[in-house]
Structure 1
């Protein structure tokens, strides 16, 4: 039985979404009614579609008697998280043959890494890449050759973009296949320490590079709990993975077995069989509430306050910041994974992983147990972990108790009674803050504003010795319509260094922080953004700002008359609109919605 507070939020989402959800499901049903579409293709169209296939596959596809599985992949070999996908199409194709199906790589989508583009012009394309990925995946599926799809994606914008595209083809079953995290390297806490020392000029570039290379050292996802690993947790709790598959290391027999099983499961749930499970039937209001609950319970990435909204809207479901805020009040924090602890996702898995987490949330009535999944069972089936039994994939119950309660706990003894994310409101607008890594003594800050229009300006002020004081850094004109809402994670070591000297410090911005938002209190995604005349554009140096994360307050201590009488600041953004491909995204900047609507152009 789900708790009343969870049921209430779900009910209001369902009611609010009814018109758009009914319209979406109507479109899905119309697409489904046409059945497998290869039979409707002209001879030349169909011949083009199977020209590169093996002879037996050509026979099957031309007669239309077997299911054809689309592989949509974000493979590239520059990004450690996506390099393992090089091997996956061969595994998937072989798995499809074993059950009498066919699999084709339908198309690729771009995959960029915020870790590489941090503080660089490319970061200004990062958020918009989600919508590009959605469009690219839609093109891959547009050939009308497929009965189901598997999606290969890991990192920040890639999974949300793929989910948006999958729902555009909501009549097709869709299974998401992760590649897994790299083995643990240099502990994240050590890496963070070196970063802060480098910001203070106490460690050289060689020291910093050695630390980073020892942390990011092999194929696989980065091991801290940022947006990439939050993605994988969400896909599992929302029923789009096979149970326990999120955090199995790449290039291992278990990883390969899960990949093959996921492909075969996708073929088993097409309209050809008796278990037809389109993605539109999996991603309903219950799935999204389950995802938000798990995000709070794990102190997940702040980016998902944007991404989940966009993903939901793609299926006609309307989420608001109030939904996140109200769920946060009743969901306890059950994990300590870096940056809100010292452990990484491998330690989390060893302690009990997603199986134990899901079991704990189910036992407490915090998630909907009857939510549908691609596995053909309800969510209780996901309170398991995979293993190999004489080389064959099998599942067993997750541990009945956490194997390391410094990393993972049950609901009876949480790290915090409420969730890791909170919504702030006040005369500066609305914002989001990640609390799970912020110490209680730093959750209330009252200090004068220091205004910056670029993170480089803040870094320069720090190097010049101008920030050895209490202050709230207001970094504005960073929103989606201004410069694409880049992450400002590069500022964390600088602000953490000032805070370590005993000063009150906070960040307020209409940009984003990383999924690895850390110990500095940061009010992010401030909306309306400064470029749209939001209150941030009227703040002056020295204005007193109060950020109270516990009470959910973000204000500037000015009378309404004074605040609204000021003319909005102006900032020449021309330099941000050209070079590094940024000129190609003018349409995105001009048409981007605000963060509360998903900060994109799709939907």
Structure 2
């Protein structure tokens, strides 16, 4: 392994110093909980009887005597959503594997799992971001019975894994292993899918043809195969050491996938306080693990959603990161993958090219990852993650990953990157701070200077496109899309019409305090603007016709106005009241009111208390 890159070390040291008080306070709470241990032996008889009433006589005896570890299963299973459906049989596999290994497992609870692909552009999308915090709270409820010595977390998609991880970190005294479900097999090519979506946006094909194409793309159980937030989740969890090596992208309903699920179950037993190798998640996820996750995100051109989620995850562990950290690392971390939307390959092609084993090995060789983290592999360090699982005569074993990528059009080393910098950049200027994903934006589109056209609803942009009112250079300013305004829904439905206009030769960009999805791609989009408009952010003062300059190369975003003129303008209210009712949105009013800014994780969980207390 090479010496750590100087910038990686500097950013890590800065985070450690910035987080010193809050991290120490967090670890103090974790260690106090460790000392108390599971309270099964101290529970009143009625409490304990309730806790194992449905167990077998043998399990009751084991739990009464406190001689075997009891593992919680927390799952996002539902059978409507393809990514979560493969978890259907996992509890039975896990219980059998843990029983054979000398432990007990109980299904502790389920967490909600919604799909942004289903709710995209719909009212339900306004619950999506906040569902992360509901999942974190549901995880805490699942573990609140104090019956457990460790936990297995079964989740895949956008808000589910961050929510599970935040919840797990509040039970930082318990060891944790995350169990993926794997991606669906490859369907229609991404290039063809984009072509058909744009034809539909132009009105050249109908809904029947579009649905047929979409059904060929999303066609079976497993995660969507593009490199959006779901697959970015899996990459980050593995690069932080919470997955078994090489297990993230094995397809569901295969013998190897089932053996990996059983292996994950056996693995968590090794790390409980009753054993000799105690690895509580509160110590596993430290500043170095968080930095590794950021590096992985940048190196692979992953989802912009994680510029929000990772901040919230880190905060749950007492670690303070911000967009300056992402930006500093992005300047030195090269882009080494081409996976849709920054390429035509899907996640199965990445796996076939060498997958996580090659990615981690190449980044370690470049000094761009911390090897000395605690992982859930048999060997603690990340340097042992350059291996991949295989079945030999029905038995699960790990073998060395390929020494080099098997497809350099999909995966490369840092010595021959697709881009010398990472896929995300910080933007700042007189409109506030935000981020932009540039890994799929061609260099000629990374600087846009054009008049603003102001909207307060994404559907108005689509309507203006269909009416032919956007056939010109412009910057779409979409306001009041932040967490306090309407829950910060993804705005991915804007990608096809804006992409069509860009293909026609117009200079176009999007500037918003809302989110784009992990699938956002070729159109430059300044997103997550903070302060958001609902909090009085300057974006709310922009008027149609104002000149906007977006420069992803220099990291500048500004309205070209005299500052006194901008300051003198009155912030106009939006029609946000229409977003407060229907499709369950009335239940989330408290979430909207107390949500933090995007750069603080758009989080509702920590606003009423300080983690340093």
Q: State the alpha-carbon separation in 2 of the partners of residues 271 and 352 from structure 1.
A: 35
Alpha-carbon displacement from aligned partner over 1:206-258 (angstroms, at most 9, x marks no partner) = 11000000000000000000000000000000000000000000011100111
Q: Which residue of 1 aligns with 2:84?
A: 82
Q: Which residue of 1 aligns with 2:601?
A: 598
1:37 to partner: Cα distance: 1.6
Answering whether residue 563 of structure 2 is matched by residue 531 of structure 1, we say no
Q: Which residue of 2 aligns with 1:578?
A: 581
Q: Which moved more, 1:312-321 or 1:35-44?
A: 35-44
Q: Which residue of 1 aligns with 2:95?
A: 93
Q: Work out which of the residue numbers 436, 443, 446 in structure 2 matches 1:443.
A: 446
SS at match of 1:150: strand
Q: Which residue of 2 aligns with 1:431?
A: 434
Q: State the alpha-carbon separation in 1 of the partners of residues 300 and 605 from structure 2.
A: 28
Correspondence list, 1:445-460, <5 A: 445-460=448-463
SS at match of 1:104: strand
Alpha-carbon displacement from aligned partner over 1:363-410 (angstroms, at most 9, x marks no partner) = 000001111101142001111111011111111111111100000001
Q: Which residue of 1 aligns with 2:53?
A: 51
What are the ranges of 5 or more consecutive residues in structure 2 without an aligned counterpart? 607-613
Aligned-residue CA RMSD (Å)? 0.6
Q: State the alpha-carbon separation in 1 of the partners of residues 373 and 36 from structure 2.
A: 27
1:36 to partner: Cα distance: 2.2
Q: Which residue of 2 aligns with 1:334?
A: 336
SS at match of 1:115: helix
1:586 to partner: Cα distance: 0.5
SS at match of 2:253: coil
Q: Work out which of the residue numbers 340, 362, 365 in structure 1 matches 2:364.
A: 362
1:517 to partner: Cα distance: 1.0
Alpha-carbon displacement from aligned partner over 1:486-530 (angstroms, at most 9, x marks no partner) = 000000001001111100000000000001111000000001101
Alpha-carbon displacement from aligned partner over 1:259-299 (angstroms, at most 9, x marks no partner) = 00001100110000001000011100000000000100000
SS at match of 2:331: helix
Q: Which residue of 2 aligns with 1:31?
A: 33
Q: State the alpha-carbon separation in 1 of the partners of residues 190 and 554 from structure 2.
A: 30
SS at match of 2:261: helix
Q: Work out which of the residue numbers 500, 504, 510 in structure 1 matches 2:503.
A: 500
SS at match of 1:88: helix
Q: State the alpha-carbon separation in 2 of the partners of residues 550 and 398 from structure 1.
A: 35
Q: Which residue of 2 aligns with 1:251?
A: 253
Q: Which residue of 1 aligns with 2:173?
A: 171
Q: Which residue of 2 aligns with 1:261?
A: 263
Q: Which residue of 2 aligns with 1:152?
A: 154
Q: State the alpha-carbon separation in 2 of the partners of residues 468 and 82 from structure 1.
A: 41
1:572 to partner: Cα distance: 2.3
Q: Work out which of the residue numbers 500, 515, 520 in structure 1 matches 2:518.
A: 515
Correspondence list, 1:219-298, <5 A: 219-298=221-300
1:188 to partner: Cα distance: 1.4
Q: State the alpha-carbon separation in 2 of the partners of residues 523 and 194 from structure 1.
A: 26
SS at match of 1:481: helix
Q: State the alpha-carbon separation in 2 of the partners of residues 517 and 27 from structure 1.
A: 39
Q: Which residue of 1 aligns with 2:397?
A: 394
Correspondence list, 1:480-495, <5 A: 480-495=483-498
1:57 to partner: Cα distance: 1.0
Q: Which moved more, 1:394-403 or 1:145-154?
A: 394-403
Q: Which residue of 2 aligns with 1:199?
A: 201
Q: State the alpha-carbon separation in 1 of the partners of residues 576 and 514 from structure 2.
A: 15
1:35 to partner: Cα distance: 1.6
Alpha-carbon displacement from aligned partner over 1:79-117 (angstroms, at most 9, x marks no partner) = 000000001000000000111100100000000000000
Q: Which residue of 2 aligns with 1:111?
A: 113
Alpha-carbon displacement from aligned partner over 1:32-87 (angstroms, at most 9, x marks no partner) = 11122211111111011111111211111111100000000000000000000001
TM-score by length of 1: 1.00
Answering whether residue 544 of structure 2 is matched by residue 554 of structure 1, we say no
Alpha-carbon displacement from aligned partner over 1:113-142 (angstroms, at most 9, x marks no partner) = 000000100000000000000000000000
Q: Which residue of 2 aligns with 1:130?
A: 132
SS at match of 1:482: helix
Q: State the alpha-carbon separation in 1 of the partners of residues 190 and 152 from structure 2.
A: 32
Q: State the alpha-carbon separation in 1 of the partners of residues 364 and 501 from structure 2.
A: 42
Q: State the alpha-carbon separation in 1 of the partners of residues 444 and 225 from structure 2.
A: 28
What are the ranges of 5 or more consecutive residues in structure 1 without an aligned counterpart? none
Q: Which residue of 1 aligns with 2:312?
A: 310
Q: Work out which of the residue numbers 463, 466, 471 in structure 1 matches 2:466.
A: 463
Q: State the alpha-carbon separation in 2 of the partners of residues 35 and 521 from structure 1.
A: 51
Q: Which residue of 1 aligns with 2:609?
A: none
SS at match of 1:222: coil
**What is the aligned length?**
603
Q: State the alpha-carbon separation in 1 of the partners of residues 150 and 177 from structure 2.
A: 8
Q: Which residue of 2 aligns with 1:321?
A: 323
SS at match of 1:330: coil
TM-score by length of 2: 0.98
SS at match of 1:193: helix
